[in-house]
Amino acid sequence: MTENQLWKNRRYCAELTEKDYNQTVHCCGWIDTIRDHGQLLFMHLRDKSGVVQLVFDPEKDKDLHAQAEQLRNEYCVSISGTIVERVGEAKNDALPTGHLEIHVQSLSVYSSSKTPPFVLTEKSQVDDDSSEFKVDEDLRLKYRYLDLRRTSMQEKMIARYKIMKVIRDYLDEQGFIDVETPVLTKSTPEGARDYLVPSRHHDNTFYALPQSPQMFKQLLMVSGFDKYYQIVKCFRDEDLRPNRQPEFTQLDLEASFIDEAYIYNLLEPLVKKVFAVVGKEISAPFPHITYHDAMELYGNDHPDLRFDMKMVDVSEKLRNVNYKIFNSILASGGSIKGINVKGKASEMSKNMLQEELAKKVVPSFGGKGMSWMKMENGALNSNVVQFFSEDEQKALIESFNAEDGDVLLFIADSNKAVVNDVCGRLRLYVAEKWGFIDKNKIAPCWVTDFPMFELKDGRLSSMHHPFTQPDHAFSSASSTDDYLAVNSRAYDLVINGEEVGGGSIRIHDSEIQTKIFSVLGLSKTDIQEKFGFFVNALQFGTPPHGGLALGMDRLVAMATDSDSIREVIAFPKNRVAFCPLTQAPSHVSDEQLTELKLACIKEEVSITD
């Protein structure tokens, strides 16, 4: 057979089955492991499907065996041979193809390989699938093409592709079309910092890479496309965090003549389908929680609903308490909240509660302290319980529904926002450390009724973005306090305590849009200069519309149980936005800079005191 014919008939290693017994097959791939018994020589051959065992027997073909002895890990080869059923002890149940092997008849080496900088085979994970891949991430990124050759990374990339495909198919069924929007676009002042691209044709001007296609997708609604989506790269030049990348992928969508309910009904099946790709089930409809309730009950706007443990406000119950710290905090207008750590009294020692939680953990969250009580033999017990009257103790037991073995943890502060924040963080810390989180559970929810504005450095700023439609209170609002009381028609999709997406019903009235900009402190000239094209567009018969964007990297990471979004991006940047593989970003030549009429400011050595 010619090489060409061989390739046509190529089989994937892990797709061989009992139906192939005694057939001659041809496979291509990489040498995964070698077990040399002096005479008999076993190897695993790996391709994108998995591995299959090769056998070289010197009694059958001495020359071939000698040739095979020269093979090393990661050599790229092709083989032809006979599929043979393994017998008795020789079967390996840990491997999908463990019941067969290939008795090789011919071998050709496409290319040899240097010893790789880290071991690529995942043979050890046959026994222990919990063992994570412990190699420095920068080294993995430097040799990402090898890292991606590993079975688990291939599975993640394939899962990502399948998820994207499921989404495209579903949105197609729903009447959405994919429209591309520019990558070189206009810098906008609101929001995150832009990545800038200098223009060679227009001196001293810059394009910006899009933080999202926000305005373009709204313009597509003005154009009458009715339902748009795009799986698109977005760019934000913000400081990095473990689950953040300078460039990331969003599912961006927008639809006309719709309301919030349409978005919820569209997205819930979509999210279900995404998790179904990896065999995970979610129940719908997703619960809704208002921003206010999320803050009060969970301490943040992205509540983790995989476990209950709601925060309880006991300020009123303790209005006249003798416990001095609580009393003075309440007198200064603060509040007291607590959580009930069910059934952990025996695991949370007094020493741990006071020395670890109260003195180290809570202060690291920004809290001044923590009080605790244990429920034992039907009564509260702690170092401070004597300062609480019988009625107050009874009220606490009722408020928390406390039973024997429970531990109550209290956070008090004169600043109510601090109480929510610290108590919310404590809730997550305790849940993580004492095993309240069911890692197999997927708990989505919609967070709704966000405030339209928030105060930043004493000025009004959009909480979501300035194109979000405010509720009715906006039309009569005039003072800063009025504006802060206005809610928006924004919604966030939160899964397992992570915000995976958000969107809103948009403004389709140019006058309201202009008023929003002016409330945000933009002058008429600013508006015209920054958003003129957009405000103009709204004057030509804009349909009511709204949409949403989903962070696909996070969603795929969650679906594939990956710790970081870097695990589900083929070629990510590291934590400091550097690419160890390509060494980007890099310096450019003076010629390139001159062409762009740019000059680099050299780092100045400051001697000033």
Partner RNA sequence: GGGGGCGUAGUUCAGCUGGUUAGAAUGCUUGCCUGUCACGCAGGAGGUCGAGGGUUCGAGUCCCUUCGUCCCCGCCA
- Out of 6, 25, 109, 139, name the contact with RNA by CB under 7 A: 139
Q: What is the 3-state secondary structure (H, E, C) of 438-494?
A: CCCCCCEEEEECCECEEEECCEEEECCCCCECECCHHHHCCCHHHHHCCEECEEEEE
Q: Supply 184's token pair.
A: 């070189």
Q: Which residue, 479 or 606, has its beta carbon nearer to RNA?
A: 606
Q: Least distance (Å) from RNA to the CB of residue 601? A: 14
How far is residue 523 from each of residues 483, 514, 520, 528, measured CA to CA in Å?
18, 10, 9, 9
191 contacts RNA (rule: CB under 7 A):
yes
238 contacts RNA (rule: CB under 7 A):
yes
- Out of 40, 184, 284, 331, name the contact with RNA by CB under 7 A: 40
Q: Supply 18's token pair.
A: 């009992």
Helix (H) or strand (E) holding 116: none
- Residues in contact with RNA, counted by CB under 7 A, come to a total of 63
280 Cβ neighbours under 8 A, 6+ residues apart: 442, 559
- Out of 6, 25, 95, 166, name the contact with RNA by CB under 7 A: 95
- Contacts of RNA in 408-447 (CB under 7 A): none
Q: What single-letter DSSP state applies at residue 604?
A: P
Q: Least distance (Å) from RNA to the CB of residue 443? A: 20
The stretch among 39-47, 218-226, 370-378, 387-395 that binds RNA (CB under 7 A) is 39-47
Q: Which residue, 241 or 472, has its beta carbon nearer to RNA?
A: 241
Q: Is 282 strand, coil or helix?
A: coil
Q: Least distance (Å) from RNA to the CB of residue 328? A: 26
Q: Least distance (Å) from RNA to the CB of residue 212? A: 5
405 contacts RNA (rule: CB under 7 A):
no
125 Cβ neighbours under 8 A, 6+ residues apart: 131, 152
Distance, C-alpha 318 to centroid of its chain: 40
- Out of 22, 111, 115, 130, name the contact with RNA by CB under 7 A: 115
- 3-state DSSP helix/strand/coil % of the chain, to nearest 5: 35, 25, 40
55 contacts RNA (rule: CB under 7 A):
yes
CA 59 – CA 411 distance, rounded (Å): 77
73 contacts RNA (rule: CB under 7 A):
yes
Tell which residue, 186, 221, 60, has the closest CA to residue 533.
186
Q: Least distance (Å) from RNA to the CB of residue 53? A: 5
Q: Least distance (Å) from RNA to the CB of residue 121? A: 8
CA 485 – CA 466 distance, rounded (Å): 16
- Out of 578, 593, 596, 598, name the contact with RNA by CB under 7 A: 578
Q: Which residue, 191 or 405, has its beta carbon nearer to RNA?
A: 191
The stretch among 85-93, 144-152, 379-387, 392-400 that binds RNA (CB under 7 A) is 85-93
Q: Least distance (Å) from RNA to the CB of residue 135? A: 4
Q: Least distance (Å) from RNA to the CB of residue 408? A: 24
Residue 3: what are its φ and ψ, rounded to 5°?
-55, -40
CA 410 – CA 398 distance, rounded (Å): 15
Q: Supply 27's token pair.
A: 């496979």
- Out of 117, 198, 334, 343, name the contact with RNA by CB under 7 A: 117
575 contacts RNA (rule: CB under 7 A):
yes
- Contacts of RNA in 470-499 (CB under 7 A): none
CA 353 – CA 374 distance, rounded (Å): 11
185 contacts RNA (rule: CB under 7 A):
no
218 contacts RNA (rule: CB under 7 A):
no
Q: What single-letter DSSP state applies at residue 112?
A: -
- Out of 344, 512, 564, 593, name the contact with RNA by CB under 7 A: 564
Q: Is 41 strand, coil or helix?
A: strand
Q: Which residue, 242 or 458, has its beta carbon nearer to RNA?
A: 242
455 contacts RNA (rule: CB under 7 A):
no
CA 412 – CA 416 distance, rounded (Å): 8
Site residues, RNA (CB under 7 A): 33, 35-40, 42, 53, 55, 57, 59, 72-73, 86, 89-92, 94-95, 98, 101, 115, 117-119, 123-124, 126-128, 134-139, 188, 190-192, 211-212, 214, 236, 238-239, 241-242, 244, 364, 461-466, 564, 574-576, 578
